[in-house]
Amino acid sequence: MDSTQPSDVVIEHPNREKASSKATKATVILLLLASAALVTIITIGGWDALQGAKPVQIVYVALYLLMAYYVAIWNRGVLPVAAALAIILLIFAAVAAPEWFARDKSGYTDPALSAEILGMLTVIIIPVQALLIAFAMRGFSQAWNVEVERYPNGAGSTSAA
């Protein structure tokens, strides 16, 4: 029987201390926040011209902000979800961008921001989402979840949580 009390155990996450993990985490958070900001600007600026996509865009902003929070507290489980949502948003942006630039014909509603600005912001979403996919998958492969138990006597064991 081990005389060590559970309160004596110190849980460490060695992969979270690496500079590469910290940089990846910061980059993913920045990309999620930038994506949320771009989608928010496009949604507000094009509110009158958007057709049925408003709820989807609002949900995307909320999910990206929530995922940024979870990444900030080292939850690696949201990283594949962020990558999957980024793939979908990248496709939506690639399809929508040319349509913002084609609004010079009659019959289109004028958005609050000019269609050219909204089109450029939509184009900017594409590389941001590609970077988000790459960095989210890099973060997932860094095994932020690995735990090392440290006991007062110096012994330790490794486990994945």
Q: Give the model's pLDDT for residue 41.
A: 94
**What value does the mean pLDDT take over residues 145-160?**
68
State percent of the chain over pLDDT 70: 89
Find the helix packing angle between 19-45 and 54-72, rounded to 10°: 160
pTM: 0.83
* Among the listed residues 154, 128, 109, 98, the one whose alpha carbon sits nearest the alpha carbon of residue 38: 128
